[in-house]
């Protein structure tokens, strides 16, 4: 065992006892002199002198040449060993302090790394949330696109329903086949029969139609045989009613202009001509002209009464006026093409509504699943609509044809939108996958650094230090530092040592931690003190 300064006395005593023991053995060996006493009991003087010489020379040789030098050598060796061990102890203490300081710095570094990784994880999670929100936004936009397309298909289907309704209207179909010019009435209706003015004009036209039907009935009565006597008796009243009916003075200018353009001008001209004939020709000739006028007026008024009645009926049913302006091509839309397209559009609407409902219930559909849904719904019906419309063989150009072509062009635009949103969704999904991989890597690194930090903190714990260094007083104090809180009072000495960066602040923020990258450690080993201070910015009042 190496000697220590505390048991130096015992060590020297042990060395002395060892030497004395050796001396005792040698003395006993020396004193065992043979033939010192003669038989007579007296001492042999020569032997005694020789004995005393040996004893005296033994003490000289032993102490001067052997024991004292050996004793001095051993004591010197022990003193040198004690001095060397003492110096090694100081080095151990310094090394221990340095290692503990490095462990404290490593603890702060691991804590900072863990916080940085945690912050990066939060950034990645925010990006993932933003990507998820973008994905949900794409889903909502897809739903809006499908709903807009549903509205467009519904609108077109309503147009074809109107066409079907017009085609099934026997009275209007008969008028279309006749030679009467429907265009003025249709154009007038298209321009003026909307909103509140349209309701007022409908009321006026209803009253005019009542008057016209009454006049037609009077003409039918007059035209029935025997008519000669009745013509003469009723002609002045018929003439007056014809002029009033044709001029339509009691109605608005819009309706009055229409009536004069369609039938009113003819009624006035014929009435005035008959008045002239009445004054110039014979009664037989007058009767012939009057009868021909009555027949022609009845026929013309009957046609226009039917036309206006149809217009009133269509207006009350919500038929769009511009549809009738295409009355010529409706003859070409023969067969069941309109009904076939209308049925296809109704089925298309149901599929689109089901698609919108599925997108709402399953917002996490993959791009491939969306592509399949679009193929089964949008693209298939678009192709079928184009084929049926091409078979309708509608004359070109026409307003209704433009309306259908608009829908077909709109379907192409919808196709572009759907593909665009699908590509965006694919991009967001790929970005989500990459961000999830980064988040997982950051999580594993954070857990690894966190485990290292726990191991280092365990090494600095009082229990571990006490168990490892039983014979040395070792103490490590940790002072947690948080941004926004005041610097602990125990850490104020570090301010004077220049370890902390200072920033001028108001008195309210004096000694408040503004930035930190770890905690402050105070380390002491058998009187040796050290501070481990991370990067700190502390506010100091001006």
In a domain, 447, yes or no: no
The secondary structure element, H or E, covering residue 541 is strand 536-541
User: What separation, in Å, do the N-terminal and C-terminal C-alpha atoms of the chain show?
Assistant: 62
- pLDDT value, residue 357: 92
Q: Name the most confidently modeled range: 176-180, 307-311, 325-329, 516-520.
A: 516-520
Question: Which residue from 170, 150, 146, 169 is spatially nearest to 158, judged by alpha carbons?
Answer: 150
Residue 282 scores a pLDDT above 70: no
| Residue 317 CB-density burial (10 A; 0-12 exposed, 13-18 middle, 19+ buried) | exposed
- What is the domain count for the chain? 4
| Rg of the chain on CA atoms, in Å | 61
The conformational region for residue 341 under phi > 0 = left, psi -120 to 50 = alpha, else beta, is alpha
In the numeric block, which tokens belong to residue 411?
Answer: 């379907």
User: What's the per-residue H, E or C state across 23-73?
Assistant: HHHHHHHHHCCCCCECCCCCECHHHHHHHHHHHHHHHHHHHHHHHHHHHHH
Is residue 218 domain-shared with residue 315, that is, in the same domain? yes
| Residue 156 CB-density burial (10 A; 0-12 exposed, 13-18 middle, 19+ buried) | buried
Is residue 519 domain-shared with residue 371, that is, in the same domain? no
Residue 37 scores a pLDDT above 50: no
- pLDDT value, residue 499: 76
In a domain, 181, yes or no: yes
Q: Compute the distance between CA of residue 120 and CA of residue 434 in angstroms, rounded to an integer.
A: 14
Q: Number of helices and strands (H, E) in the chain?
A: 18, 6
Q: Which residues of 261-270 are buried (b: 16+ CB within 10 A; e: fewer)?
A: ebbbebbbeb
Lowest-confidence region among 47-51, 182-186, 443-447:
47-51
In a domain, 163, yes or no: no
The DSSP 8-state label assigned to residue 325 in this structure reads: T
- For residues 84-92, give the mean pLDDT: 63
Q: Compute the distance between CA of residue 502 and CA of residue 537 in angstroms, rounded to an integer.
A: 6
Is residue 179 domain-shared with residue 279, that is, in the same domain? yes
Angle at 193 between CA 168 and CA 405, to 5 degrees: 60
Is residue 422 domain-shared with residue 467, that is, in the same domain? no
- For residues 26-41, give the mean pLDDT: 53
pTM for the complete prediction? Answer: 0.59
Q: Which residues of 347-371 are buried (b: 16+ CB within 10 A; e: fewer)?
A: ebbebbeebbebbeeeeebebeebb
Q: What percent of the chain clears pLDDT 70, i.e. is strictly above it?
A: 68
Helix residue spans in 248-282 (DSSP H)? 253-259, 265-280
In a domain, 220, yes or no: yes
Residue 24 scores a pLDDT above 80: no
- pLDDT value, residue 521: 92
In the numeric block, which tokens belong to residue 245?
Answer: 């009916």
Domain boundary among 408, 431, 454: 431
Could you tell me which residue, 268 or 152, shows the higher pLDDT? 152
CB atoms within 10 A of CB 539: 19
Is residue 177 domain-shared with residue 288, that is, in the same domain? yes
In the numeric block, which tokens belong to residue 163?
Answer: 């066409």
Residue 409 scores a pLDDT above 70: yes
Read off the pLDDT of residues 123-139 as tens digits, 9 standing for 90 and up: 999 999 998 899 899 98
pLDDT band of residue 278 (cuts 50, 70, 90) is: low
Question: Which residue from 42, 39, 23, 41 is spatially nearest to 31, judged by alpha carbons?
Answer: 23
Could you tell me which residue, 521 or 311, shows the higher pLDDT? 521
In a domain, 442, yes or no: no
Neighbour order of strands in the sheet with 474-479: 474-479, 520-525, 528-532
Lowest-confidence region among 177-186, 237-246, 433-442, 446-455:
177-186
Long-range contacts of 3-6 (CB under 8 A, 24+ apart): 3/78, 3/81, 3/82, 3/85, 4/82, 4/85, 5/82, 5/86
Read off the pLDDT of residues 311-327 as tens digits, 9 standing for 90 and up: 777 777 666 666 665 55
- pLDDT value, residue 80: 59
Q: Compute the distance between CA of residue 214 and CA of residue 188 in angstroms, rounded to an integer.
A: 24
Q: Which domain holds residue 367?
A: 150-154+335-431
Is residue 61 domain-shared with residue 208, that is, in the same domain? no
Q: Is the dihedral of CA 118, 121, 127, 133 positive or negative?
A: negative
- pLDDT value, residue 151: 92
What is the residue-averaged pLDDT of the chain?
A: 77
Residue 232 scores a pLDDT above 70: no
Q: Compute the distance between CA of residue 142 and CA of residue 367 in angstroms, rounded to an integer.
A: 12
Domain boundary among 410, 431, 452: 431
Q: Compute the distance between CA of residue 492 and CA of residue 536 in angstroms, rounded to an integer.
A: 12
Is residue 340 domain-shared with residue 325, that is, in the same domain? no
In a domain, 439, yes or no: no
pLDDT band of residue 200 (cuts 50, 70, 90) is: confident
Residue 233 scores a pLDDT above 70: no
Is residue 190 domain-shared with residue 270, that is, in the same domain? yes
Is residue 93 domain-shared with residue 51, that is, in the same domain? yes
Is residue 346 domain-shared with residue 322, that is, in the same domain? no
Is residue 112 domain-shared with residue 22, that is, in the same domain? yes
In the numeric block, which tokens belong to residue 439?
Answer: 């988040």
Is residue 213 domain-shared with residue 360, that is, in the same domain? no
- pLDDT value, residue 215: 78
- pLDDT value, residue 373: 87
In a domain, 113, yes or no: yes
In a domain, 389, yes or no: yes
Could you tell me which residue, 100 or 219, shows the higher pLDDT? 100
């Amino acid at each position: 065992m190496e000697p220590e300064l505390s048991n130096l006395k015992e060590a020297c005593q042990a060395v002395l006892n060892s030497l004395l023991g050796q001396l005792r053995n040698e003395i006993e060996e020396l004193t065992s002199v043979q033939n010192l006493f003669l038989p007579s009991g007296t001492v042999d003087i020569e032997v005694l002198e020789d004995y005393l010489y040996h004893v005296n020379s033994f003490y000289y040789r032993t102490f001067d040449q052997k024991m004292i030098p050996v004793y001095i050598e051993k004591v010197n060796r022990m003193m040198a060993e004690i001095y060397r061990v003492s110096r090694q102890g100081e080095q151990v203490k310094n090394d221990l302090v340095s290692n503990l300081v490095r462990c404290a710095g490593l603890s702060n570094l691991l804590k900072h790394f863990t916080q940085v990784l945690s912050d990066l994880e939060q950034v990645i999670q925010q990006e993932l949330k933003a990507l998820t929100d973008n994905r949900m936004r794409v889903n909502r936009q897809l739903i809006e696109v499908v709903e807009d397309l549903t509205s467009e298909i519904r609108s077109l289907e309503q147009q074809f329903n109107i066409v079907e309704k017009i085609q099934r209207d026997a009275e209007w179909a008969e008028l279309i086949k006749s030679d009467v010019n429907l265009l003025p009435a249709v154009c007038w209706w298209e321009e003026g029969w909307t909103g509140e003015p349209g309701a007022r004009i409908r009321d006026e036209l209803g009253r005019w139609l009542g008057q016209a039907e009454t006049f037609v009935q009077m003409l039918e009565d007059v035209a029935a045989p025997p008519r000669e006597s009745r013509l003469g008796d009723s002609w002045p009243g018929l003439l007056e009613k014809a002029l009033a009916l044709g001029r339509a003075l009691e109605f608005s200018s819009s309706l009055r202009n229409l009536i004069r353009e369609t039938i009113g001008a003819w009624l006035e001209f014929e009435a005035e001509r008959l008045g002239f004939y009445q004054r110039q020709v014979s009664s037989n000739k007058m009767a012939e002209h009057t009868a021909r006028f009555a027949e022609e007026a009845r026929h013309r008024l009957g046609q226009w009464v039917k036309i206006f009645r149809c217009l009133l009926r269509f207006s009350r049913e919500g038929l769009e006026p511009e549809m009738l302006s295409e009355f010529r091509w409706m003859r070409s839309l023969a067969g069941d093409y309109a009904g076939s397209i209308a049925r296809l559009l109704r089925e298309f609407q149901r599929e689109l509504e089901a698609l919108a409902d599925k997108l709402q219930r399953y917002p996490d559909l993959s791009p491939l699943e969306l592509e399949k849904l679009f193929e089964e719904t949008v693209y298939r019906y678009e192709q079928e609509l184009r084929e049926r419309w091409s078979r309708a063989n509608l004359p070109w150009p026409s307003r209704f044809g433009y309306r259908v072509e608009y829908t077909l062009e709109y379907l192409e635009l919808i196709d572009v939108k759907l593909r665009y949103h699908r590509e965006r969704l694919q991009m967001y999904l790929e970005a989500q996958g990459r961000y999830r991989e980064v988040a997982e890597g950051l999580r594993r690194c954070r857990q690894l650094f966190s485990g290292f930090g726990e191991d280092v903190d365990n090494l600095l714990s009082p229990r571990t230090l006490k168990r490892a260094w039983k014979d040395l007083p070792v103490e490590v104090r940790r002072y947690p530092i948080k941004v926004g809180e005041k610097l602990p009072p125990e850490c104020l000495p570090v301010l004077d040592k220049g370890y902390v960066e200072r920033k001028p602040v108001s008195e309210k923020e004096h000694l408040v931690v503004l930035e930190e990258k770890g905690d402050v450690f105070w380390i002491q080993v058998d009187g040796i003190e050290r501070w481990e201070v991370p990067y700190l910015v502390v506010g100091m009042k001006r």
